Structure 1
Amino acid sequence: MNQELPIRFCEPEQVAPDTWVVRQLAGEGLGPVATYVNSSVITGAEPVIVDCGPAITRDEWLETTFSIVDPADVRWIYLSHDDVDHTGNLMQVLDACPDATLVTTAFMMERMSADYGLSLPLHRMRWVNDGERIDAGDRELVAVTPPSYDSPTTRGLFDTKSGVYWASDSMGSPVPHEVSNISDLDPGFWREGFLGQQLLLSPWLTWADSTRYDRAVDRVLDLGANVVTSAHGPALRGWQIESACRLLRELPFLPPAKLPGQVELDAIVAMLVEAEGAAAGAGTDPGQVAA
């Protein structure tokens, strides 16, 4: 992997007997917090790759993912939405997994066509909208839109056998360092980070009708998930899921998130310049210091 990239792989986390989260941690050293960039693998009777990671770590992402599942065995590639950190290795996965069906939507395909054009294999697609199901042999997989999102194509994925709900970009939180359980975080830090990340993800929530929004949160709670995984946070289990849903209900009543501005950008640039200077003085690769 390119050592100049401020992103590294963590050990994949097994969150259920047949479900893994492929974890990367981005932004370490560039600020007070870092962000997970996750995807998932379900190793059932008909194995599923859930989202395809970012292109900048392609080689290691492919190596890690295919250390969990043989690409020849993969039967489903599920895209939760079309953001680049979820589709960065899509074409490589399609090439490596010739027997896999790409689960997407018409709108998602339309948006991705700007990058992929006619390369998207219509004959290998299945369009699955919110609420619809996939029979994956030993389980049903249900498309369920999460309570917060930044892409109109978003729908999460609930596995009826394992009880794991992939919430896509929703229900994640920044972390100060690599953690696998939010119980390892200060409760105040987690609350602030969770709410802030949801508001950044979904600024429209400040306009939402709270009663209608509660029904969207109830829908996730009613899944009865054992574990909630996400693209940008540690997995949630048991009481943590209920706690996260209580916080979600606060979002329509909160002011918009304060976005970083020029002051924050200047601080990041100054830190990188300082790191490059330190690396040059020590005779090391400045990219390794920044990473």
Structure 2
Amino acid sequence: MTCPDPRAPDFGCTGTLPRAITPDCLWTGRCLPSSVPDMHAHYALYLLKGSEATVLIDTGHPIHWAEVKRDVDAFLDGRPLDYIFPTHSELPHSGLLERWMREFPDAVAIGDMRDYPLYLPHLAHRFRQVAPGDRLDLGDRDLLFLPPVWRDLPDTLWAFDTKDRILFLSDACAYFHAHVPGQCDHLSSEIAPPDLAIMQDFNDKALHWPKFTDSRPSFPEIDELLARLRPRFLTGAHGCVVDTPEKTLPLFKQGIAMGPMPGKVPA
């Protein structure tokens, strides 16, 4: 499949990132070669603009600094970056935190920051600890922090944009983690359904725990969350943006409900 309109204006669909998924939310980052031959894997971050403040969700992979900095500057269009929200302390999500804070000296890092003073003690005065249920006021919208149903690390948080109803899922729901070149900025409605084996391979590598335990008891919690929030978009760091949440949630469940993988022995 190709983009709906390859002549799209700036931040439209071109086949490569960046792309604005709403007028106020930029999907950027870049891709790296996947473990699947001839396919790509996303390393994404998101810039959300409120009427009064802006926030970067995740920091991007350090290898992509020049590209994502250029994208963010262009989308900010002269506005400052006010907040940086690393969803958890893993390289693709927080590896550029210090660089962003250096570029924007008034920016505040926000999230579960419990361990970050150990890594960046000179920036500890610019860290703001939040917990599920807390809200970040951006003016015409709030960023609501949520408990992660499917988490990577103990300091993982999810978040929800209350205006455009975007649910930021960090490493969960790795929809189309592997894709072919030219599909890097495609939404779920613009691309073929995911390969279950690829989703299971990603969850095996990134989340680790689904191969050792039964994840099905978590399904009522994710069902309740989506029913309550009614998100328009599901966004993660390692897959395409999902604009078909109800259609794709059953696929997410299949991808995470894998149980012990063949040949895997719990440690």
CA distance in 2, matches of 1:208, 1:129: 26
Greater fraction of residues in helix: 1
Report how far residue 69 of structure 1 moved. 1.2
2:260 is the counterpart of 1:256? yes
Please state whether the residue corresponding to 2:240 is helix, strand or coil: strand
Q: Give the letter for the 2:63 counterpart.
A: I
- Whole-angstrom distance in 2 between the partners of 1:29 and 1:86: 20
Judge conservation of contact 1:148–1:198 (CA < 8 Å) in 2: no
CA distance in 1: counterparts of 2:247 and 2:143, whole angstroms: 25
Unpaired segments ≥5 residues, structure 1: 1-8, 261-291
Q: CA deviation at 1:56?
A: 1.8
| TM-score, normalised by the number of residues in structure 1 | 0.74
| 1:82 lines up with 2:89 in the alignment | yes
Instruction: Show CA shifts across 1:2-47 (max 9, x none).
Output: xxxxxxx933111112001013111069724321010010122211
Question: What is the SS of the residue equivalent to 1:73?
Answer: coil
Question: Is 1:150 the equivalent of 2:156?
Answer: no
> 1 CA distance for matches of 2:227 and 2:32?
29
What whole-Å deviation, never above 9, does each CA across 1:100-131 have from its counterpart, x for those lacking one?
A: 22102243425xx2x43x22x23222111223
Residue 269 of structure 1 is matched in structure 2 by none
Residue 204 (structure 1) aligns with: 209
Calculate the aligned-residue CA RMSD, in Å: 2.7
Match of 1:93 in 2: 100
Aligned to 1:48: 55
Match of 1:11 in 2: 17
> Could you state the TM-score of these two structures normalised by the residue count of structure 2?
0.80
Q: 1:190 aligns with which of 168, 175, 195?
A: 195
Shift of 1:202: 2.5
Q: Percent identity?
A: 20
Q: Which shows bigger deviation, 123-132 or 208-217?
A: 208-217
Q: Residue 271 of structure 1 aligns with which residue?
A: none
Letter of the 2:230 counterpart = G
CA pair 259-122 structure 1, distance change in 2 beyond 3 A: farther
Distance 1:106 1:96, change over 3 A: closer
Structure index of larger Rg: 1
**1:177 matched residue in structure 2:** 181
Q: Which amino acid aligns with 2:18?
A: P
